[in-house]
């Protein structure tokens, strides 16, 4: 359909003229005015459709581009609406996170000397787009095993409206401000190695911004962040877990189920361990992503006394002290 013909305006009509033509045609063909004449109703629908497209600057540019060279009356269907506007609605809350540190990743400057003539084949210098950076949150158990994580971000990708040319209807494309590219949401699985270090950067080649006017893309840098674990503390490759014991368990020794990053295991606590002593579970720490030896897991012994022992329990503890002849302050002070 030729929307200009439907409204009876020339192709270069300004918005004011288009609006006036629409009002005139709508008044003439409105069902209320024509008493339900089917031909008028069909006309009215076409008028509304034409005005819908021609009154929106972006859609009009796209229509002009897509219908250029087409014969009047050729079918034209509007492509699905994409681009910054729709993106903002869906990802509005997410954007600040992605841009937090990559905030400089806006438009590159258009290469100097680029202009209308630069659009001709051979003339434009293709500039590589910028790298992007985003953070990936991992939990410690996931890091120990390695795997992949889905990340969502946005990057400048070839503009759909102008086919990355930056030009529509002899003017700068309205969707991309003549840059030939526009923000597009992306979602992808980023693999990370077992033992990935906090602060390390994973490189995903070619997932940065595309350059202006069809230039090749930069890379995506994904910075690893590791969330603190409620039980485990880490020092580089080693993992520490607090191990509270009763006086009896510490004195007599015991076998206990304890958690590791790789699932629970049974640990043998030798008799006579002291608070602060570390028991090592060999190579149950984090793997080295560079192929070195894995860390260990250490159980840090704590002694926990009963909070509110019964009279009988107190009596047993008194007898325990008598039996051991324990004199913990001997030689400590000189009073």
Minimum distance, C-beta of residue 232 to Zn ion, in the bound complex (Å) = 50
Which one of residues 173, 183, 222, 273 is an interface residue with Zn ion (CB under 5 A)?
173
Minimum distance, C-beta of residue 82 to Zn ion, in the bound complex (Å) = 11
The one-character DSSP state at 246 is -
Which one of residues 143, 159, 207, 299 is an interface residue with Zn ion (CB under 5 A)?
159
176 contributes a contact to Zn ion by CB under 5 A: yes
**Cα separation, 180 vs 160, whole angstroms:** 8
Minimum distance, C-beta of residue 124 to Zn ion, in the bound complex (Å) = 14
Nearer to Zn ion by C-beta: 21 or 161?
A: 161
| Contact criterion met (CB below 8 Å) for 238 and 120 | no
Nearer to Zn ion by C-beta: 5 or 172?
A: 172
Nearer to Zn ion by C-beta: 29 or 167?
A: 167
CA dihedral 277, 280, 284, 288 (to 10 degrees): 90
**Residues facing residue 274 across a β-bridge:** none
Minimum distance, C-beta of residue 1 to Zn ion, in the bound complex (Å) = 24
Minimum distance, C-beta of residue 182 to Zn ion, in the bound complex (Å) = 6
64 contributes a contact to Zn ion by CB under 5 A: no
Nearer to Zn ion by C-beta: 43 or 65?
A: 65
Minimum distance, C-beta of residue 31 to Zn ion, in the bound complex (Å) = 38
Minimum distance, C-beta of residue 161 to Zn ion, in the bound complex (Å) = 4
Nearer to Zn ion by C-beta: 164 or 250?
A: 164
Minimum distance, C-beta of residue 162 to Zn ion, in the bound complex (Å) = 3
The count of residues interacting with Zn ion (CB under 5 A) is: 6
**Cα separation, 269 vs 232, whole angstroms:** 19
| Contact criterion met (CB below 8 Å) for 117 and 123 | yes
160 contributes a contact to Zn ion by CB under 5 A: no
**Token digits of residue 244:** 């509270």
Cα separations (Å) of 281 from 233, 278, 285?
A: 15, 10, 8
Which one of residues 29, 175, 209, 249 is an interface residue with Zn ion (CB under 5 A)?
175
157 contributes a contact to Zn ion by CB under 5 A: no
**Cα separation, 203 vs 137, whole angstroms:** 16
Kind plus residue range of the DSSP H or E element containing 203: strand 201-204
Q: Which of residues 86-115 bind Zn ion (CB under 5 A)?
A: none
**Token digits of residue 181:** 């590219």
Kind plus residue range of the DSSP H or E element containing 91: helix 84-102
**Cα separation, 218 vs 90, whole angstroms:** 24
161 contributes a contact to Zn ion by CB under 5 A: yes
Q: Which stretch binds Zn ion (CB under 5 A): 42-50, 88-96, 159-167, 215-223?
A: 159-167
| Contact criterion met (CB below 8 Å) for 258 and 172 | no
Contacts of 166 (CB under 8 A, 6+ apart): 119, 159, 172, 173, 176, 178, 179, 180, 212, 213
Report the interface residues with Zn ion, using CB under 5 A: 159, 161-162, 173, 175-176
């Amino acid at each position: 359909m030729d929307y200009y013909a439907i409204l009876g305006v020339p192709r270069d009509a300004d918005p004011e003229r288009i609006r006036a033509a629409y009002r005139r045609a709508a008044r003439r063909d409105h069902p209320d005015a024509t008493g339900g004449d089917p031909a008028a109703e069909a006309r009215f629908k076409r008028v509304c459709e034409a005005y819908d497209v021609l009154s929106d600057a972006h859609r009009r540019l796209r229509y002009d581009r897509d219908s250029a060279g087409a014969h009047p009356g050729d079918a034209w269907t509007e492509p699905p609406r994409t681009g910054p506007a729709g993106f903002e609605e869906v990802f509005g809350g997410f954007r600040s996170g992605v841009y937090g540190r990559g905030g400089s990743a806006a438009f590159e400057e258009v290469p100097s000397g680029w202009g209308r003539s630069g659009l001709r084949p051979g003339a434009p210098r293709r500039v590589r787009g910028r790298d992007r950076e985003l953070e990936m949150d991992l939990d410690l158990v996931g890091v120990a095993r390695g795997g992949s994580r889905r990340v969502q971000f946005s990057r400048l990708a070839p503009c759909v409206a102008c086919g990355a040319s930056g030009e529509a209807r002899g003017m700068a494309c309205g969707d991309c401000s003549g840059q030939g590219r526009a923000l597009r949401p992306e979602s992808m699985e980023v693999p990370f190695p077992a033992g990935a270090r906090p602060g390390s950067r994973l490189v995903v080649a070619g997932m940065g911004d595309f350059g202006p006017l069809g230039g090749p893309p930069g890379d995506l840098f994904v910075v690893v962040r590791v969330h603190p674990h409620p039980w485990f503390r880490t020092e580089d490759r080693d993992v520490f877990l607090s191990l509270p014991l009763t006086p009896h368990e510490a004195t007599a020794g015991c076998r206990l189920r304890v958690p590791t990053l790789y699932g629970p295991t049974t640990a043998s606590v030798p008799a006579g361990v002291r608070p602060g002593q570390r028991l090592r579970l060999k190579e149950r720490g984090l793997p080295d992503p560079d192929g070195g030896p894995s860390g260990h897991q250490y159980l840090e012994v704590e002694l926990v006394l009963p909070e509110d022992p019964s009279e009988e329990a107190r009596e047993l503890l008194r007898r325990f002290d008598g039996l051991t002849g324990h004199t913990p302050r001997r030689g400590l002070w000189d009073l």
